[in-house]
Amino acid sequence: MFNPAFSSAAMLARKNFMPVINADKAGSDLRHPASKAARIFCDSATRSDIEPLLRAGLINGITTNPTLLKKAGAKSWDEAKGIMKDLCAMLNPFPVSLELTELTEDKMVKQAEELGALGSNSVIKVPAGGYPAVVPGGDPFTGFKVVRKLWERGIKTNVTLVFNTTQAFWAANAGASYISPFLGRVPDYMAKHDDPDPKKPGGNSLYWLDDTADAKDRKTANSEYVASGGERRDAGSRLIFEIATVFANYQITTEILAASIRNPVQLTECLLAGADILTVPAAVLKTVADHPLSDDGMKNFLEDSKAFSG
């Protein structure tokens, strides 16, 4: 199980510094015992998934992407925009993350303004990096430049595809409202790419430094703490904690939106790690009240209560 290796004092300081997280909720009652708790978003673009969760008061925002829009039935950009506009109206005033599909700076800024017009609660998702991998000769800093321009225009952004604290830190410096670390994909990558060499610790596909002066075998996509600091399956939770600690150290108020969550236990781990927001697939959200002991207890209560029935 994820076990933070650092003191939580810095995160506590950040929580005390930050404004009430749920203060943007219309009619929010700040006397509620969980008014400063992490928010829960639904990671979906399908109305039938989202609406019952919203009506039940279980979520206060959603995150979408092109894959989810396609799953929701969009077969063209116009249809996708129609779905996004409908979702903004349904969720208002809660935030709705809408992801850019353009890949160059000028086109991304123009598309961001287009998506921003779909609702006053829209938040523009901007990938942190990876541009040279899909655009020949692409500028690796495209995402940060776009975030900076949108920040100057007062447009909220959610920097997505974040996989290390470096990306998170520079996104915050660019002006990101939210950053989205994908905790589930970090151990997935390690499981696929780790070197079986027994001389190297687990996680070496993301971190490895040969301890010699002229070391050439270097991999530093993540810190040793994240990549090699414990069980591989907990690497994503360690990433959330590392980002939260750095943000706390410098009172950075960009919110940490934990993404790529696979099961209810990871929700708890993200809360332990200091995430501000959890974006969760509808299928996982539907299980948060479940526990085998709750089932057994209810069956016993029902059986015992028969003694009092007429």
Assign 200 a pLDDT band (cuts: 50, 70, 90): confident
pLDDT value of position 203: 77
With pLDDT > 70 as the criterion, what percentage of the chain qualifies? 88
Contact present, 188 and 134 (Cβ < 8 Å):
no
pLDDT value of position 19: 39
pLDDT(11) > 80 = no
**φ/ψ (deg, to 5) at 151:** -60, -40
Average pLDDT over the chain, rounded to whole? 90
pLDDT(31) > 80 = no
How far lies 291's CA from each of 210, 298, 299, 300, in Å? 45, 11, 13, 15
Contacting residues for 204 by C-beta, under 8 A, at least 6 apart: 194, 195, 197, 219, 227, 228
pLDDT value of position 20: 38
pLDDT(14) > 60 = no
For residues 211 and 71, the model is more confident at: 71
**Given 36, 70, 107, 125, the catalytic residue:** 125
Residue 125 known to be catalytic: yes
Average confidence (pLDDT) over 285-297 = 95
Q: Hunting for tokens 């040793």 — which residue is that?
A: 224
Average confidence (pLDDT) over 120-125 = 98
Q: Compute how many other C-beta atoms are within 10 angstroms of the C-beta atom of residue 158.
A: 27
Token readout for 166 is 């470096």
Average confidence (pLDDT) over 18-42 = 68
Region of poorest pLDDT, from 179-183, 206-210, 270-274: 206-210
pLDDT value of position 7: 45
For residues 88 and 16, the model is more confident at: 88
pLDDT(26) > 70 = no
Distance CA 135, CA 141 (A): 12
Q: What is the pLDDT of residues 54-107, one digit of tens each?
A: 999 999 999 999 999 999 999 999 999 999 999 999 999 999 999 999 999 999
With pLDDT > 90 as the criterion, what percentage of the chain qualifies? 80
pLDDT value of position 28: 54
Region of poorest pLDDT, from 25-29, 44-48, 170-174: 25-29
For residues 214 and 45, the model is more confident at: 45
Average confidence (pLDDT) over 230-248 = 97
Q: Compute how many other C-beta atoms are within 10 angstroms of the C-beta atom of residue 91.
A: 22
pLDDT value of position 29: 55
Looking at the chain, the number of H-run helices and the number of E-run strands are 14, 10
For residues 47 and 9, the model is more confident at: 47
Contacting residues for 244 by C-beta, under 8 A, at least 6 apart: 11, 14, 256, 273, 274, 275
Q: What is the DSSP letter of 192?
A: H
Region of poorest pLDDT, from 125-134, 185-194, 195-204, 270-279: 195-204
Assign 35 a pLDDT band (cuts: 50, 70, 90): confident
